[in-house]
A and B are shown apart, each in its own frame.
Chain A
Amino acid sequence: MVLWRREGFAEDAWAFLADDAEAPETGSIVVSLKRWLAEREALASRTGPVGVAVDAGADAQAHLPELANRPLVALAFAKFADGRSFSYARLLRDRHGFKGELRAVGEVLIDEIPLMLRCGFDSFDVTNAPTLAVLEAGRLPGPPIHYQPGSGGDEAPAGVRSWRTISAARQG
């Protein structure tokens, strides 16, 4: 697994913890939503930051608002075709004011990454080899101009027609 951000490949400062693994007192950890809900107080009182990993489903939807103050939320794409996490991402960013790191995990593929960026994801756990190859070559597929406002924070209105935007980061 390799971590990628808009700026390029990066070191991962976060350790994803299995549900039965003991939480270390320090260091950045990510726990499952289930564990977070069960051990919230204990986890929040440790010195290191705690992120939450969320699988798509009814629980995810119900608990999104309370994840807004976490430093990291990891949203899973169990299959690339399961698009629910696109909506969770936008709801976290646009409705619940989430300012932390939003990570895409699971089946993260090259042609979805531009869409994920536009939904507010900013880090990506990538395992798929063709995806890594394109990311290494340093080119993101798809148009840098859009027909709808996104939640990625880098888009400016395109001037004409209210629904159009341009990605500043992808120009030039």
Chain B
Amino acid sequence: MYHYDDFDAAFVAARVEQFRDQVARRLSGELTEEQFRPHRLMNGLYLQLHSYMLRIAVPYGTLNSRQMRKLAEIARKYDRGYGHFTTRQNIQYNWPALKDTPDILAELSSVEMHAIQTSGNCIRNVTADHYAGVAHDEIADPRPYAEILRQWSSLHPEFSFLPRKFKIAVNGAAHDRAVIQAHDIGLQVVRNNEGEIGFTVYVGGGMGRTPFIGRKVREFLPERDLLAYIEAILRVYNLEGRRDNKFKARIKILMHEKTLETLRDEIETEFAARDAKALDLPPEDVARVAAFFAPPELEPKKPVSDRVERRKSKDSRFASFFASNVVAHKVPGYVVVTVSLKAIGAVPGDASADQMDAVADLAEDYSHDELRVSHEQNLILPHVALDDLPAVYDRLASVDLATANAGAVTDIIACPGLDYCTLATARSIPVAQRIAQRFGDGARARSIGPLKINISGCVNACGHHHVGQIGILGLERAGEETYQITLGGSADENAAIGQITGPGFSSENIVGAIDTIVETYMGLRRRDDETFIEAFRRVGLAPFKEALYERSAGSDI
């Protein structure tokens, strides 16, 4: 993985000192909250319902055991013993004291981490496929490009005060696990006919109150032009993005108002007018960064392990863990293990300090010191030898991290909602907990198969509900929480925005409504392996609507 050189270390250290000075000026009263706001936002510090919230970047979701232990230590020392992993490959602490935040950032810098640009109207933490470097279907590892973009966008002098936040995601495999079409810029690594690496570029995806799926502006962007082309997009956006209304300020609205063709022409014109030398990305530099991400040397092994097979045959919990949380590594005899942060009834994405330490130990002992954070709010051990799986499983189980539900109905993505967030209109965490409890982890949950439920506590859509196969949006109607359901959303290369089923459901009835949807699907699927989304695409909204509003007693129309 990437390691800071002196340059990176000096940069982050200078930034921490700058922030320390700003906090001191705020604490002394020299800066008002209003004057302090832009500074804290550039450093990931939000003012929330109960306290400040600090958001720390896990760039492209990769971290090592030392970094994870530091996150645990921060949770213990400066917070209430836990942290929250988000859909943006960040971790959030909900209870830090303002005076401690410079020290937290200093501690983070000691393990090569930071909170730079995790908030504010700037280029945010660049995200990537959490299976980067281990997936079978990978064209090239997306992380070197994400790292180059992270560097290039850090304290960018021209693009630190954009009309609105700006999110870039990079995917390197055929299957999109980075939801690139829901980002302001989505980059898909591709190879052209000559075998050269480049990118298909999508612009204008985004969630929020007006969701859009990103549109293709370039079929093939040569690797060399990556930075220059991104600069051209950002410049057009900085100059022309709306600044009169923050709800219309994202590039998706600019694209919508100007049309794809006009915006693409403007980007291409700006790109063509560039100083060709200025931001050329030489292959030597890409290679230098890529070398950091070289895969560990793994001795190929037998693709089937007797030890695993034996355990599977006598331990059904292990067998279901194997079926749902383990996928093959590109090297035979190794697997990629998803550590679910979605124990039944737990807060999705939360991990205690002890759990973080336990996962760090496992990474060190069994996964070449590497960990990943997924946008599904889970952790991943990317390089586990198949033979070690029973041992890894037992240790995960001992800290309540062996829930066998990756990708299943109870692997719910949820934003913090009204329990923490100032913008929330409804709670999302308790709804996620209740849905998970309803389905549990028994035979019924397993028979449902892959299903993605996403919950947001307001229209900002931090829980990605628009692209959830079942999306739940918490709203407030006449002082009551009410939950709107969308179906058929998709967050992969076939990205789609879900369709609203109809009137919303009360907090009391929402769980029953979800159950009705799942039952309806189970009733109409053609085979056991026709997934929810496949079935939905075949039959459409109608049967679900009927079940929800005509047959079910639970609706609140």
Contact = CB atoms under 8 A, between A and B. Distances in A.
Contacts of B239: 61, 84, 87
Given A141-B18, A161-B288, A147 B35 contact: no
B10 interface: yes
B285 A162 contact: yes
Interface in A113-172: 114-116, 118-119, 130, 133, 141-150, 158, 160-164
B38 interface: yes
B21 A141 contact: yes
Contact of B160 (A83, A133, A143, A161): A83
Contact of A147 (B5, B151, B275, B285): B151
A115 B243 CA distance: 20
B161 A86 contact: yes
A119 B158 CA distance: 7
Contacts of A111: 18, 22, 38-39
A115 B155 CA distance: 8
Nearest to A120: B157
Given A147-B151, A148-B156, A162-B285, A82 B15 contact: no
A112 B278 CA distance: 23
B134 interface: no
A158 B30 CA distance: 36
What size tier do the contact residues of chain B reach?
35 or more
B291 to A, nearest CB: 12
Contact of A142 (B153, B155, B235): B155
B463 to A, nearest CB: 27
B8 to A, nearest CB: 9
A146 B158 CA distance: 12
A107 B254 CA distance: 26
B100 interface: no
Nearest to B17: A141
A14 interface: no
Given A83-B161, A87-B239, A130-B35, A163 B227 contact: yes
Nearest to A82: B243
B397 interface: no
Contacts of A13: none
A148 to B, nearest CB: 5
B157 A150 contact: yes
A103 interface: no
Contacts, number: 110
Contact of B279 (A116, A118, A145, A163): A163
B11 A143 contact: yes
Given A111-B22, A150-B157, A86 B152 contact: no
A145 B11 contact: yes
A115 B154 CA distance: 12
B33 to A, nearest CB: 13
Nearest to A140: B18
B282 A82 contact: no
A118 B153 CA distance: 14
B5 A160 contact: yes
Interface in A43-63: 61
Contacts of A84: 238-239, 243
Nearest to B12: A143
B281 interface: yes
A99 interface: no
A9 interface: no
A122 to B, nearest CB: 14
Interface string A82-99: 111011001000110000
Given A87-B239, A111-B22, A145 B161 contact: no
Contacts of B158: 83, 86-87, 90, 115, 119
A153 to B, nearest CB: 13
Interface centre among A82, A83, A158 (most CB of B within 10 A): A83
19 contacts: A83-B121, A83-B161, A83-B163, A94-B275, A94-B278, A114-B157, A115-B157, A119-B158, A145-B7, A145-B14, A146-B157, A148-B152, A148-B156, A149-B278, A150-B157, A160-B288, A162-B281, A162-B282, A163-B152
Given A83-B159, A87-B235, 8 more contacts: A81-B161, A82-B161, A83-B161, A87-B238, A111-B39, A149-B279, A163-B151, A164-B7
The 10 closest A-B pairs by CB, nearest first: A83-B161, A143-B14, A118-B157, A115-B157, A147-B151, A86-B158, A141-B18, A147-B154, A143-B11, A87-B238
Interface of A: 61, 80-84, 86-87, 90, 94-95, 109, 111-112, 114-116, 118-119, 130, 133, 141-150, 158, 160-164
